[in-house]
Chains A and B, each alone.
Chain A
Amino acid sequence: MGWEEKAVRGYSEFVQAAEQSRGRPVFALFCGDKDAQGRSWCPDCVTAEPVVRCELNSMPDGSVFIYCQVGDRPYWKDPNNEFRKKLKLTAVPTLLKYGTPQKLVEEECLNRELVHMLFTED
């Protein structure tokens, strides 16, 4: 299946990755930073990631999947952080289709049918 993953940390890296992918469908999963053992401080993110990864094959050909670590917990809790202000994110995990109003937030990301719907339907 033809899709590509980019892993980024922080807002500027995310914007860069999204810009590079212009013209292709871009899906992004935003999670709290992972520690040295690879576990995120955000428990819902830990549960959501495998659910989302299970469905990646249903993304359209040529899609780009951006896995973005937003920062540590204090950064995320700051109401003025760039993700909240510029991307209008309200929570992690958030899974969205870049450039559209289509997104799934928190428990919605744990629902495999919803993830499938986001990846496959217009």
Chain B
Amino acid sequence: MGVDYYALELDLTDDGPNIQEVLAELTGQRTVPNVFVNGTHVGGYDKTFQAYKSGSLQNLLEDRIDDTEVYDYDLIVIGGGSGGLACSKEAASLGKKVMVLDYVVPTPSGTSWGLGGTCVNVGCIPKKLMHQAALLGQALQDSRKFGWECDEQVKHNWDTMVEAIQNYIGSLNWGYRVSLREKTVTYLNAYAEFIEPHKIKATNRKRQETFHTAQTFVLATGERPRYLGIPGDKEYCITSDDLFSLPYCPGKTLIVGASYVALECAGFLAGIGLDVTVMVRSILLRGFDQEMAERAGAYMETHGVKFIRKFVPTQIERLEEGMPGRLKVVAQSTEGPEIVEGEYNTVLIAIGRDACTRNIGLDKIGVKINEKNGKIPVNDEEQTNVPHVYAIGDILDGKLELTPVAIQAGKLLARRLFGGSFEKCDYVNVPTTVFTPLEYGCCGLPEERAIGEYGKESIEVYHTLFWPLEWTVPGRDNNTCYAKIICNKHDKNRVLGFHVLGPNAGEITQGFGAAIKCGLTKELLDETIGIHPTCAEVFTTLEVSKSSGKDITQAGC
């Protein structure tokens, strides 16, 4: 190109190693060549060659500034979870210069984790694996009825399970780092805060600060568990952030909360043989279909999980230190002066999650948040009130807190920003599943909301109880698994809501989620021939409506 350049050979300067350290902190790049043009960091060999091919290298050399200022990056993503990683990788694959920052503030107990966000480290992944551990325990019991002869009492080893799960999570953390490097996304393990509209300060765990600018920002900082705000909560209690890597078996556990986190944790802890109590302030699974929530809860109760309903803890005291120790919990009724006390080895708080939006400098740049819950209102293109700042994932106000939603939103956002696409994320009819001991899968509206939106006379609910074939031989609960669909009478009996309580509910629901996207109706379901013998086939032969009042108790096949 005939351009003069200055080359500083780091292996030939005394200060080389120091310079290399500083370069790494400034740019996230440890290797050489590390290229700067007119003060702007370009990157290593690959990025420089890419800039040469795309013409931006020439722009930099000629100090050519069009309407836009020259920023360090095209895109900075704050948060390396499901949404953040999907968005940054997509933007990089579209040829953009991207940085992603991820930082885990340790829990009060000191727990921390690697790249990947909540889902991978302290959410969906370890949850489902522990749920599986519990299901296998049940399967071992059932197996005797099928002829497997096992004399010994089967016990569960907490440490073995946690080690195996953490090992798998470690490989995922590593996999994400390799993936980001391969896609030339710059990754910084640092806490990001806005200091100016296009500039952030990044602080790593050694408290070193670096500064970075970008044309566009995406907030994907996710949430953390909320505490009770009573004496002893942060000092003695744990949350889901701590549970999945707990270096000792939690023992006799009290779970405070009625969220799906609370019920799922209670479920698998009881499933591996622990003494579990759930303390619920009011209703189970707020926001979900309440009939289904109560049925899921009832199953847990008949299978050994104790419920203390309409109480809230007021005080946690430590009686004995240890791993686990012994804690005393005092709780107050929500309906009167009654007090209950209990002793537990572990208290797990699962009353909700708060968005990580309060301490990242959003006030400095004018991004509006919902003061009540800290979440960020966005338009249907995930744009905040500040045009160059977007947000995705759990922190969105009024949107679903699910990994696949964040991933989809992140990918589509990147494609709209940099790929010339116009496709927006569809938040309607997203299927989901609660992995309680008896799983609950759903897509569409809860019955209460369908009644509220369409009116009771406009909807027809078809339902049935069913007995999975695999449960017959071991003599497991009959008339417990339940299926229902909610249909719109004024629109060809279009399925507005799909609900199933039974084994493998997630696997069952996924397909119906696609069918609902295609406009599934009761007639189409009836025309579909079932697969026999399965649980899912009940949806192809639903006959009894709630309005008819007919009995759905099963006598047997």
A residues sitting closer than 8 Å to B (CB atoms) are 100-104, 108, 111-114, 116-117, 120-121
Contact between B181 and A113, CB atoms less than 8 A apart: yes
B30 at interface (Cβ–Cβ under 8 A)?
A: yes
Set of chain A residues within 8 Å of B177, measured between Cβ atoms: 117, 121
Residue of B nearest to A102 (CB): B174
Extra 12 A-B pairs, beta carbons < 8 Å, given A102-B174, A113-B44: A100-B170, A101-B168, A101-B170, A101-B173, A102-B170, A103-B174, A108-B178, A108-B182, A111-B181, A111-B182, A112-B31, A114-B182
Set of chain A residues within 8 Å of B178, measured between Cβ atoms: 104, 108, 114, 117
B171 at interface (Cβ–Cβ under 8 A)?
A: yes
B373 at interface (Cβ–Cβ under 8 A)?
A: no
Contact between A116 and B182, CB atoms less than 8 A apart: no
Set of chain A residues within 8 Å of B30, measured between Cβ atoms: 116, 120
Set of chain A residues within 8 Å of B167, measured between Cβ atoms: 101
Give the distance to chain A from B177, nearest Cβ to Cβ, in Å: 7
Set of chain A residues within 8 Å of B173, measured between Cβ atoms: 101
Contact between A101 and B174, CB atoms less than 8 A apart: yes
A35 to B443, CA, bound (A): 60
Bitwise, B135-170 to A at CB < 8 A (1) or not (0) is: 000000000000000000000000000000001101
A66 to B181, CA, bound (A): 25
Which of chain B's residues 177-203 have a Cβ closer than 8 Å to chain A?
A: 177-178, 181-182
Give the distance to chain A from B291, nearest Cβ to Cβ, in Å: 43
A68 to B178, CA, bound (A): 23
Give the distance to chain A from B125, nearest Cβ to Cβ, in Å: 14
Contact between B174 and A113, CB atoms less than 8 A apart: no
Interface residues on B, range: 10 to 19
Residue of B nearest to A121 (CB): B177
A47 to B177, CA, bound (A): 23
Set of chain B residues within 8 Å of A102, measured between Cβ atoms: 170-171, 174
Set of chain A residues within 8 Å of B181, measured between Cβ atoms: 111, 113-114, 117
Contact between B31 and A116, CB atoms less than 8 A apart: yes
Between-chain CB contacts (< 8 Å), 24 pairs: A100-B170, A100-B174, A101-B167, A101-B168, A101-B170, A101-B173, A102-B170, A102-B171, A103-B174, A104-B178, A108-B178, A108-B182, A111-B181, A112-B31, A113-B31, A113-B44, A113-B181, A114-B178, A116-B30, A116-B31, A117-B177, A117-B181, A120-B30, A121-B177
Residue of A nearest to B172 (CB): A101
Most chain A Cβ neighbours within 10 Å, of B44, B171, B173, B178:
B178
8 shortest interchain CB distances as A-B pairs: A101-B171, A101-B170, A102-B174, A113-B31, A101-B174, A114-B181, A113-B181, A116-B31
A76 to B454, CA, bound (A): 64
Residue of A nearest to B173 (CB): A101
Set of chain B residues within 8 Å of A111, measured between Cβ atoms: 181-182
Set of chain B residues within 8 Å of A103, measured between Cβ atoms: 174
Set of chain A residues within 8 Å of B170, measured between Cβ atoms: 100-102
A17 to B178, CA, bound (A): 27
Give the distance to chain B from A52, nearest Cβ to Cβ, in Å: 14
Set of chain A residues within 8 Å of B171, measured between Cβ atoms: 101-102
Most chain B Cβ neighbours within 10 Å, of A112, A113, A114, A116:
A113
Set of chain A residues within 8 Å of B44, measured between Cβ atoms: 113
Set of chain B residues within 8 Å of A116, measured between Cβ atoms: 30-31
Set of chain B residues within 8 Å of A104, measured between Cβ atoms: 178
A112 to B181, CA, bound (A): 11
Residue of A nearest to B170 (CB): A101
Give the distance to chain B from A53, nearest Cβ to Cβ, in Å: 16
A113 to B373, CA, bound (A): 42
Set of chain A residues within 8 Å of B174, measured between Cβ atoms: 100-103
Give the distance to chain A from B398, nearest Cβ to Cβ, in Å: 38
Which of chain B's residues 291-331 have a Cβ closer than 8 Å to chain A?
A: none
Give the distance to chain A from B167, nearest Cβ to Cβ, in Å: 6
A104 to B177, CA, bound (A): 11
Which of chain B's residues 1-31 have a Cβ closer than 8 Å to chain A?
A: 30-31
Most chain B Cβ neighbours within 10 Å, of A101, A102, A103, A114:
A101
Which of chain B's residues 182-226 have a Cβ closer than 8 Å to chain A?
A: 182
